[in-house]
Amino acid sequence: MRLQGKTALITGGLNGLGRETALLFAREGARVAVCDLPAEGGELVATIQEQGAEGFYAAADVSQFSQVEAMVGAVLQKFGGIDILINNAGITRDATLLKMTAEQWNQVIGVNLTGVFNCTKAVAPQMVERGKGRIINASSLVGLTGNFGQTNYAAAKAGLIGMTQTWARELGPKGITVNAVAPGFIATDMVKKMPEKVLQAMRERTPMRRLGEPRDIANAYLFLASDEADFINGAVIRVDGGLTL
């Protein structure tokens, strides 16, 4: 029960990595607030409650600061404070540079980069008041290496690393750690829909010879959110099976 008595806010929490993290955090004793776009998140909240934890859902488009402010206000009213912020929400709109539209660029930057700014801007002040907090950002290996057809996504994820390290300097003296996780190829539902030939190529490129599982990322989030990571600040932890060696 490494998160007993703590409240975590997880964006993009209804599916994939966010859902896995929400359920893991609930098992570890946290009160779990989930933010996503759909109007309702009752099924996940019920599942969290079945594990003996308190759950709460608040819908918001993280690219819109007014919606984020309202969402964070609802979480604070429900739980009284936020100890852990997992900036997990993200989208893809892939295209090569010559084919990418301004709309595709703006959508990805809006959610994956501006959305992280918005959520952190809304949550950090009450962490500062309380003198402690954990902020964990979902970057990606493509933010470190780039990737064909992902100008917008790579730019956003690289920008997250810069924000992570800047905030680690600014907020560290106030008792708040800020770190990032950079996943490799993870077997989410979206990835599993890719052709088997492509999936096999991903496995062969990874020294561990497998895709990552959502639990691998959730476990990294859990460690960084726990007291064991109290002196880790400004780190970018690659969870990639050795892909970038």
d(CA 126, CA 132): 9
Q: Which of 57, 79, 153, 221 is catalytic?
A: 153
Please report the sign of the dihedral spanned by the C-alpha atoms of residue 93, residue 98, residue 103, residue 107: positive
Structure tokens at 45: 């909240």
Q: Could you give the 3-state DSSP secondary structure of residue 105?
A: helix
- Catalytic residue status for 153: yes
Distances (CA, A) of 197 to 29, 92, 204, 205, 212: 40, 21, 11, 13, 17
Structure tokens at 106: 């703006």
DSSP letter, residue 243: T
d(CA 156, CA 160): 6
CB 13 within 8 A of CB 36: yes
d(CA 32, CA 225): 13
Tell me which residues are annotated as active site: 153
